[in-house]
Amino acid sequence: MIPVFLIGGGWRAETFPQTYGRFLQNAAKGGQKRIVLVVAEEPDADSHLQFLRFFEAFHAVGLSANEAFEMIVSAENPLTLERLAAAEPTGVFVCGGLTPAYYDALCIDRSWLEFLKENKIPYGGFSAGASVAGNNAIIGGWQRGIEGQIVEIANENAGEDLDLLAVRRGLGLVSFAVEVHATQWGTLSRLIHAVDGGLAPEGWAIDENTMLEITGGEIKVRGAGNAYQVRRTDGKISVEIFQSREAV
């Protein structure tokens, strides 16, 4: 498996070395860096400004302008193997925004994943870019149908313009489902319901300013917040809390 770096959101600059910086270190090959920053087009949003926001975060940890490549994607113009290969990346970082828009732009045509795997190129994702990375991608929703009733499972503002909990086949870069903005948006409860409903066998909910680093089959927590592992054990749902062992 390729190295994977999943950030739960947040913009605290003092955490950048442990989040963006860790990804950048892994994506440098032979001293060279060329990072593709993938931004999904959204209605009423400036995709280039979104790219610039993420570039500034990377610039703070050592990425220069000539080492960053802007890749704007959409359902009509998805990320493909050909587009990615032409950029000649040493790392691919998928930015944040409306998760369904990122899903449609990245998860319909999956040919580009083979390019990553064949060339052992690290994948990084922020918020939506982290959510779509799992085998079971949590796309959104703030309600769930249980025994004929509709119940609230998260704040409506975290629904991603969807009402019912939506879990779809993700990129499969990690074996678990991923939830983001866990403490800040209260989305841990949505992950618990996804696992409880059999929509994902297990998952991790990541706080803002916090990252899961998955390399060599090992999961490490980086940054300032919590990461919550949700699993079904002996027919019951269990939640375990992890924090980084490194000072911010």
Tell me the pLDDT tens digit for each residue of 214-247.
Answer: 998 899 999 999 999 999 988 899 999 999 977 6
Q: What is the pLDDT of residue 74?
A: 97
Query: How confident is the prediction for the chain on average, in pLDDT?
Result: 95
The CATH code belonging to domain 4-243 is 3.40.50.880
Across 166-171, average pLDDT: 97
* The model scores a pTM over 0.85: yes
Q: What is the pLDDT of residue 247?
A: 64
Tell me the pLDDT tens digit for each residue of 26-84.
Answer: 999 888 999 999 999 998 889 999 999 999 999 999 999 999 999 999 999 999 999 99
Task: Say if residues 173 and 120 touch (Cβ distance below 8 Å).
Answer: no
Across 126-146, average pLDDT: 97
Supply 127's token pair.
């918020």
